[in-house]
Amino acid sequence: MDATVVLVHGAWADGSSWAHVITLLQSEGLKTMAAPIPLTSLSDDVAALERALERTDGPVVLVAHAYAGAVIGAVTQDRVRSLVFISALSPDEGETVAQIFYRDKPSPEAPKLTPDSHGLLWMPNDRFGAAWCQHARPEQAALLAAIQRPIAVAAIQEKAPKAAWKAKPSWYLVAEEDRMINPATQLFLARRMGAQVRSEKVDHASPITAPKLVAEMIREAVTPARPDAAQHG
């Protein structure tokens, strides 16, 4: 049985951020689904991903964008064959997303975020395009800003559990032109987990702005997840 690719969105996004990637993967016959997460706490998000995995059979390849790296890194099910991190944060056990995010100095384009009265972090609409997806068309960036989903402060302050990437084959796409997560931080995380690393001149929102590249990297991770090659992964 071929692996199912399960895609997990990050902060200020939803499953539709994977739409172009899903289309490309499905055109090649790969089973693919997006797993919605509430962005309310790391524990809530991991639980939501595990509920989504109940809809799948056989091996899975987990793919994360940005914050969701912490989420897929907390899933230790045996049938998870490999992990793909797309400019994603991957805290080790006991670390928080916030600690990793501020490991290196943020880009000048990254706005300083203050939680609202509900403890939620929103991206300012007028800064969204320049910080989150500068390679997108202006009208596309405006749409993404309008449909953004906030992330709770609690999600980035919760300590991560045991890291699955210590035991699973991992791939990491470093976004060299990321204005949200410092590329130096991404490279540190990729090397720490011993991932197969690819570094490209893409922005933070590469699943949207560079879907062919992202799909290509996912295919690399899927191949060893297939039963006839699992022994090599």
Question: What is the chain's pLDDT, residue by residue, as a tens digit (233 residues)?
Answer: 589 999 999 999 999 999 999 999 999 999 999 999 999 999 999 999 999 999 999 999 999 999 999 999 999 999 999 999 999 999 999 999 999 999 998 888 889 899 999 999 999 999 999 999 999 999 999 999 999 999 999 999 999 999 999 999 999 999 999 999 999 999 999 999 999 999 999 999 999 999 999 999 999 999 865 544 433 33
4-222 has which CATH code?
Answer: 3.40.50.1820
CB 30 within 8 A of CB 61: no
Strand partners, 106: none
Strand partners, 174: 199
**Degrees to nearest 5, angle at CA 125 with 122 and 130:** 105
Domain boundaries, the chain: 4-222
Short-list 207, 129, 215, CA closest to 175:
207
Query: How does strand 170-175 pair with strand 31-35?
Result: unpaired
